[in-house]
């Protein structure tokens, strides 16, 4: 399809056309070029519709773009914003608010050059070669989707994290997003690279007040170079009126290990995608997801485990619960390319449906083009096991408590995959709250 055939409505998401491209002439040329290239792609791609397989269960029109306006580009603020309860657990804390962003280097890691955490604008000046390589780099194994090209062209906050070779960062980086201004579209973009034999931990937290209408579009790219260990955990606790479309890309090289965890608890409507490429022999990827849709929440997630090399391992575990009128969708694919032999890939999706009226859809998939490998997937949907409930109740636990305990037990397998105890505790608390005592 050529651009000429697309009408303006088909081409552009409301609020995102040429006139809204950041026109700040002070932005480094590299970023302007990247934005222009992304914008060209963005204009070429047709708007997804509910007739596209990927959007069949989440109509793109459910995202009310015309009610929102793009948030302005964020600039650094000098005054440190309110600190969070976990700030002391990390080496570097990045706070992102409606006013701007702030990078707190409490442990002097940045000053000592053990770690780079910079806005993309700064990094484009200091590390242009790296940005050229990693921004929309080889982790993007597939043609990006319409909304991802939008992020590439219009991001209003960009962050670059880099750990040099052979550097172990144990406590890592915390990024806190807190947005309170209603009616905005916020567009964060993250590029994180763990160089050879290094170790990096990144935690992200998204928050907005419950009644604030907000739209978030995000893109993240993670690179684990040879022998690196990269842990990334995100905790999405948007308020009940926030919409989110996000796409993640992960690439693990030889002997690298990636631990990617997503806790999806808040927001009204989320459409999240993750693609993980185990791209060289002996690379490992663990992808974990926890999601809980209650009230009228709608959570749609899809994952791709791409085995583009022989001798690779990937393990995906997505556990979710739906309650009230919540609706969750999980769509997963394992793709082993021709000659990707000795591959071991696993994909598991378990769903708890806690009451009538809630709904869970599961679409696990395999696409295998090589012969000497082992790929399997599993999916289950159901309510709590009545035998388990009976057992707990026969020990004197009230039903509500027994139910809560069983839901917690169900999720613990995923919760345990995140390295930070405080984050685990936070997720447990959140889940407990969602299950409620008066069931």
Partner 1 sequence: MSNTETMYKLETDSKLVQEYKYGFVTEVETDELPKGLNEDIIRAISAKKGEPDWMTEWRLKAFRRWQTMREPHWAKVDYPPVDYQDIRYYSAPKSAGTGGDGHGVDPELAKTFEKLGIPLNERDRLSGVAVDVVFDSVSVATTHREKLAKQGIVFCSMSEAIRTHGDLVRKYLGSVVPPGDNFYAALNSAVFSDGSFCFIPKGVRCPVDLSTYFRINAADSGQFERTLIVAEEGAYVSYIEGCTAPQRDNNQLHAAVVELIALDDAQIKYSTVQNWYAGDANGVGGIYNFVTKRGHCRGPRSRISWTQAEVGAAITWKYPSVILEGADSVGEFYSVAFTNKKMQADTGTKMIHIGPNTKSTIISKGISAEESVNSYRGMVQVLPTALNARNHTCCDSMLIGDKCFANTYPVIEVETSTAITEHEATTAKISEEQLFYVRSRGIDEESATSMIVNGFCKDVFKELPLEFSVEAIKLLELKLEHSVG
Binding site for partner 1 (CB under 8 A): 53, 338-339, 341, 351, 353-383
CB of 52 to partner 1, least distance (A): 11
- In sign, the C-alpha dihedral spanning 212, 217, 219, 75 is negative
Nearer to partner 1, 205 or 362 (CB): 362
Nearer to partner 1, 16 or 292 (CB): 292
Nearer to partner 1, 186 or 287 (CB): 287
Return the residue matching tokens 């962003």.
101
Beta strands (DSSP E) in 324-409 are 327-336, 343-353, 359-368, 373-382
* Residue 160 to residue 117: CA distance in whole angstroms: 6
CB of 146 to partner 1, least distance (A): 20
CB of 53 to partner 1, least distance (A): 8
Nearer to partner 1, 161 or 353 (CB): 353
Nearer to partner 1, 41 or 359 (CB): 359
> Torsions phi, psi of 109, nearest 5?
-70, -35
SS3 (DSSP) at 319: strand
Return the residue matching tokens 């869970």.
360
Burial status of residue 426 (CB atoms within 10 A of its CB: 0-12, 13-18, 19 or more)? buried
* Residue 424 to residue 401: CA distance in whole angstroms: 20
Nearer to partner 1, 139 or 360 (CB): 360
- Strands 188-194 and 116-119, bridge-based pairing: unpaired
Q: Which residues on neighbouring strands pair with residue 175, listed in sequence order?
A: 94, 204
CB of 246 to partner 1, least distance (A): 23
**Structural tokens at position 415:** 């919760």
CB of 365 to partner 1, least distance (A): 5
CB of 373 to partner 1, least distance (A): 7
Contact between 396 and 301 under an 8 Å Cβ cutoff? The reply is no
CB of 346 to partner 1, least distance (A): 10
* Residue 311 to residue 82: CA distance in whole angstroms: 47
CA distances from 266 to 24, 112, 206, 223, 243 (A): 33, 37, 9, 27, 9
Long-range contacts of 389-396 (CB under 8 A, 24+ apart): none
Nearer to partner 1, 236 or 351 (CB): 351
205-233 burial, b if ≥16 CB within 10 A, otherwise e?
bbbbeeebbbbbbbbbbbbbbbbbbbbbb
Nearer to partner 1, 276 or 384 (CB): 384
Alpha helix ranges (H) inside 228-347? none
CB of 360 to partner 1, least distance (A): 5
- Strands 284-293 and 257-264, bridge-based pairing: parallel
Nearer to partner 1, 174 or 343 (CB): 343
CB of 321 to partner 1, least distance (A): 10
Question: Radius of gyration (Cα) for the chain, nearest Å?
Answer: 21
- Furthest-apart CA atoms within the chain: distance in Å: 70
CB of 144 to partner 1, least distance (A): 23
Nearer to partner 1, 374 or 395 (CB): 374
CB of 150 to partner 1, least distance (A): 27
Nearer to partner 1, 365 or 436 (CB): 365
**Structural tokens at position 96:** 């992102």
SS3 (DSSP) at 20: helix
Q: Helix 399-415 crosses helix 386-394 at what angle (to 10 degrees)?
A: 120
């Amino acid at each position: 399809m050529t651009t000429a055939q697309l009408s303006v409505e088909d081409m552009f998401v409301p609020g995102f056309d040429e006139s809204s491209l950041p026109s700040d002439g002070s932005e480094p040329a590299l970023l302007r070029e990247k934005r222009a290239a992304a914008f060209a792609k963005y204009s070429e791609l047709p708007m997804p519709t509910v007739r596209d397989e990927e959007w069949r269960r989440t109509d793109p029109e459910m995202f009310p773009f015309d009610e929102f306006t793009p948030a302005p580009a964020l600039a650094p603020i000098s005054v440190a914003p309110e600190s969070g309860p976990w700030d002391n657990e990390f080496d570097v804390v990045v706070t992102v608010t409606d006013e701007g962003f702030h990078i707190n280097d409490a442990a002097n890691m940045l000053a000592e050059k053990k770690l780079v955490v910079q806005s993309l604008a700064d990094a484009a000046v200091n590390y242009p070669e790296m940005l050229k390589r990693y921004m929309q780099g080889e982790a993007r194994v597939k043609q990006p989707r319409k909304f991802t090209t939008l992020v590439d062209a219009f991001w209003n906050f960009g962050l670059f994290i880099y750990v040099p070779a052979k550097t172990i960062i144990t406590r890592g980086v915390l990024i806190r997003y807190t947005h309170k201004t209603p009616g905005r579209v916020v567009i964060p973009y993250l590029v994180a690279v763990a160089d050879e034999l290094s170790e990096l931990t990144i935690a992200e937290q998204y928050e907005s007040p419950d009644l604030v209408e907000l739209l978030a579009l995000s893109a993240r790219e993670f690179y684990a170079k040879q022998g690196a260990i990269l842990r990334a955990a995100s905790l999405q606790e948007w308020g009940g009126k926030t919409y989110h479309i996000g796409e993640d890309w992960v690439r693990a090289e030889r002997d690298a290990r990636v631990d990617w965890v997503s806790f999806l608890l808040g927001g009204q409507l989320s459409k999240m995608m993750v693609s993980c490429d185990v791209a060289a022999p002996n690379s490992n990827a663990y992808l974990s997801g926890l999601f809980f849709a209650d009230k009228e929440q709608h959570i749609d997630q899809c994952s791709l485990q791409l085995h583009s090399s022989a001798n690779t391992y990937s393990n995906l575990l997505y556990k979710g619960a739906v309650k009230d009128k919540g609706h969750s969708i999980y769509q997963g694919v394992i793709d082993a390319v021709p000659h990707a032999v000795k591959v071991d890939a696993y994909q598991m999706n378990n769903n708890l449906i806690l009451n009538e009226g809630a709904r869970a859809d599961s679409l696990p998939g395999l696409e295998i083009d090589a012969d000497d490998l082992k790929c399997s997937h599993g999916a289950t949907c159901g309510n709590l096991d009545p035998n388990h409930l009976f057992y707990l109740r026969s020990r004197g636990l009230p039903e509500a408590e027994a139910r809560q305990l069983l839901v917690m037990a169900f999720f613990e397998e995923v919760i345990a995959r995140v390295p930070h105890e405080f984050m685990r505790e936070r997720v447990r608390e959140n889940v407990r709250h969602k299950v409620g005592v008066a069931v």
